[in-house]
Amino acid sequence: MKDKVDWVISLALAQNSIKDWKQGEISGFEFSNSVTFRSSFGFSPFILRFNFNYAAGIIYTNNKDIDSHYFMPTDNKLGGECVLVYPVGWKLDPCISAQFNTQLTRSFKYIRGKKISTASLWDPVTSIETFGLELSKANKGDYYTSRLGLSLKQIRASEFTMLTDDFKTRDVKERYKSQTGIQWSNNAKVAITESLTYRGTLSMFGAFEDLTKWTFKMTNKFEIKVFKAIGVTINFDLAYDERQLVGLQYKQNIRFGFIVTPN
């Protein structure tokens, strides 16, 4: 189903609490900006949908592991997705999708007081191509899409090979890794009230080589409009990937600043 153009631009200050594979565990105050864009185009008999997002910020903090104040990047993500849907009139329509996710700039974390670089632009970059079925609903600016299909997941790296390296071959640094499996992807936007909007995504991937181990990423954002272009955003993200971190990754923040939307 064709849905309306949906975009959000934000510029904010934030209180932050983070634990992930790129940065470790930190907390502090952050200045950030982000853009998300979603649009679809109909050309009979297909629907082509684009999703794009980037987020960048800088945080001033006191690391919990070392007695030192410093600046470091936060959010630091760039991603996009293209979905081609053939609406045959069923509840589930055939579709093909391609997406990528990477970083905007160099990321690092502190280990025993030493700054360790963990990622950079396009290093690593993850791409997923999927063929499957989509359930899509849209109504007055709200939407929900859910896709399930067969996927090819590819990770490419140059300097930062943690996600691509095969630990069994100690003398070789693999810079490319591919897996075939199953992907389940969800995207939603709901206007709860005139001043409160929820946006969320959920993506899961299981490789055929071991379907007992899945990776997942979930994002949740609540936008609260205080005035026309000023508001509060509450973000809570969860992720799990054993290659990145043994345990649950999370990112929570509350941001106050400018929020620009088409409404």
109, part of any domain: yes
Residue for token digits 């509350």?
254
31, part of any domain: yes
Supply the CATH number for residue 141's domain: 2.40.230
pLDDT in tens, 93-120: 999 999 999 999 998 877 776 778 999 9
Q: For residues 213 and 223, what is the distance between their CA atoms, to the nearest angstrom?
A: 33
- The model carries a pTM of 0.86
Following DSSP, what letter does each residue of 40-93 receive, concatenated?
A: EEEETTEEEEEEEEEEEEEEEEE-SSSS-EEEEEEEEEEEEEEEEE---SSSSE
Q: For residues 198 and 6, what is the distance between their CA atoms, to the nearest angstrom?
A: 13
pLDDT in tens, 145-155: 999 999 999 99
pLDDT in tens, 170-194: 889 999 999 999 999 999 999 999 9
pLDDT at 23: 66
Query: pLDDT above 90 covers what percent of the chain?
Result: 59
- CB atoms near residue 106 (< 10 Å): 17
83, part of any domain: yes
- CB atoms near residue 158 (< 10 Å): 13
1, part of any domain: no
pLDDT at 49: 93
Query: pLDDT above 70 covers what percent of the chain?
Result: 91
Strands 196-207, 176-191: pairing kind:
antiparallel
**Number of domains composing the chain:** 1
- Domain containing 156: what range? 6-260
Cα end-to-end span (Å), the chain: 21
pLDDT at 109: 79
pLDDT at 245: 85
- For residue 79, the one-letter residue type is G
Question: Residues in the chain, how many?
Answer: 263
